[in-house]
């Protein structure tokens, strides 16, 4: 169907205090800067989120500068090329929201999903700090999570995973090394002793051959994240049989459409996909949840209500978690109510 003409494009730059410091791979986040985007076309609103992570993606300063530059061009009918993946993602999400709303169907249906509940997951960071890890685990258990992804590194792996197994014996546990074991194959292989749902990115991002070799030596599934930045890199990992599954993050990939392309390539090759998180608000998480209902996303996700991450008030209807499962909204489009007043109150800058 033909969509109405785009009438407006707006964006807000936000700074959200974290409920606790997020620490991983030398990065510490106490205040989270993101941008949210709104597009309007006829009677339809579309929302998207731009959520770069320092040290892992291009910066929020680069993304915000690009949004300021291109949003007026979009309204005038131009189609400028965006260089920052997280900015592309926000616009792609907003467009997809409008497309689904115009069809009168939930976003998950528009993407080809089933609307099934998916397993949520709590990311537990703060490597080396047992008190902080214990507090994060206790909080996640109280909130109903039944899967934990533990950030690990050499010398800090058996202890936090053991804590998770002890505190929640019936929960599943995965680990994310963010490439922390590039020179320690013995320690990487020892992760296989921890009864894990998966091992994410144990070796350096560019070491696909090493991941393929490690994969053949252990039982736990190997998942790749950092090297998966586009369809070509995903196909390279698939061709080298370097992973049992690929992490799909719409923000890092530039939107839902490129995420769908990687999902399709992985499923066609007979390997899995896992929905990763980028510390988004409930707007970004609702988009990712819709994607995670597609067949192939069988591994636990990094998703859950944003209030676990942020100390600020809600910006949108949170995703619903019950007994560790996340239930996608049933309304048309994204299916969440965005609180524009709440966004206005905390915005650092606005364009539109």
Give the position of tokens 């909130």: 143
What pLDDT sits at residue 3?
A: 67
pLDDT 10s digits, 287-344: 999 999 999 999 999 999 999 899 877 899 988 889 999 999 988 999 999 999 999 9
What pLDDT sits at residue 184?
A: 83
Q: In the chain, what's the furthest Cα-to-Cα distance?
A: 59
111-327 placed in CATH 3.20.20.120? yes
What pLDDT sits at residue 246?
A: 98
Alpha helices in the chain (DSSP H): 60-75, 85-103, 107-111, 130-142, 158-167, 185-190, 208-217, 231-239, 250-253, 256-269, 282-292, 340-346
Instruction: Give the distance from CA 95 to its chain's centroid.
Output: 19
| Average pLDDT for 232-259 | 97
Check pLDDT > 80 for residue 155. yes
pLDDT 10s digits, 32-89: 999 999 999 989 999 999 999 887 788 999 999 999 999 988 777 777 788 999 999 9
Report, as residue numbers or ranges, the catalytic residues.
151, 249
Q: Which of left, alpha, beta for 120 (phi over 0: left; psi -120 to 50: alpha)?
A: beta
What is the domain partition of the chain in residue ranges?
A: 6-104+338-351, 111-327
What pLDDT sits at residue 320?
A: 81
Q: Are strands 44-50 and 27-41 parallel, antiparallel or unpaired?
A: antiparallel
Min mean pLDDT across 21-30, 67-76, 173-182, 230-239 is at 21-30
| Average pLDDT for 263-268 | 98
Average pLDDT in the chain: 93
**Under CATH, which number does the domain 6-104+338-351 receive?**
3.30.390.10
């Amino acid at each position: 169907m033909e969509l109405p003409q785009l009438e407006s494009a707006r964006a807000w730059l936000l700074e959200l205090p974290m409920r606790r410091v997020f620490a991983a791979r030398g990065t510490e986040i106490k205040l989270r800067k993101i941008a949210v985007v709104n597009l309007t076309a006829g009677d339809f609103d579309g929302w998207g989120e731009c959520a770069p992570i320092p040290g892992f993606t291009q910066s929020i300063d680069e993304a915000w500068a690009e949004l300021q530059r291109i949003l007026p061009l979009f309204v005038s009918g131009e189609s400028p090329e965006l260089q920052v993946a997280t900015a592309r993602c926000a616009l792609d999400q907003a467009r997809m929201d409008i497309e689904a709303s115009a069809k009168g169907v939930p976003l998950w249906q528009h993407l080809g999903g089933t609307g099934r509940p998916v397993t949520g997951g709590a990311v537990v960071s703060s490597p080396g700090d047992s008190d902080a890890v214990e507090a994060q685990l206790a909080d996640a258990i109280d909130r109903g999570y039944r899967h934990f992804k533990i950030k690990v590194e050499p010398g800090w792996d058996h202890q936090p995973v053991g804590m998770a197994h002890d505190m929640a014996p019936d929960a599943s546990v995965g680990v994310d090394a963010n490439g922390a074991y590039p020179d320690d194959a013995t320690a990487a292989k020892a992760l296989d002793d921890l009864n894990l749902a998966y091992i994410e990115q144990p070796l350096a991002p560019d070491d696909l051959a090493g991941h393929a070799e490690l994969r053949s030596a252990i039982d736990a599934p190997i998942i790749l994240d950092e090297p998966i930045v586009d369809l070509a890199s995903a196909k390279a990992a698939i061709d080298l049989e370097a992973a049992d599954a690929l992490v799909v993050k719409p923000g890092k990939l530039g939107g839902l459409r490129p995420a769908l392309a990687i999902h399709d390539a992985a499923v066609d090759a007979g390997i899995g996909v896992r929905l990763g998180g980028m510390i988004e608000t409930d707007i970004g998480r609702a988009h990712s949840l819709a994607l995670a209902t597609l067949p192939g996303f069988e591994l636990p996700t990094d998703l859950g209500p944003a209030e676990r991450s942020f100390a600020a008030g809600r910006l949108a209807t949170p995703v619903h978690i019950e007994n560790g499962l996340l239930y996608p909204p049933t309304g048309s489009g994204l299916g969440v109510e965005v609180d524009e007043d709440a966004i206005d109150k905390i915005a650092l800058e606005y364009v539109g």
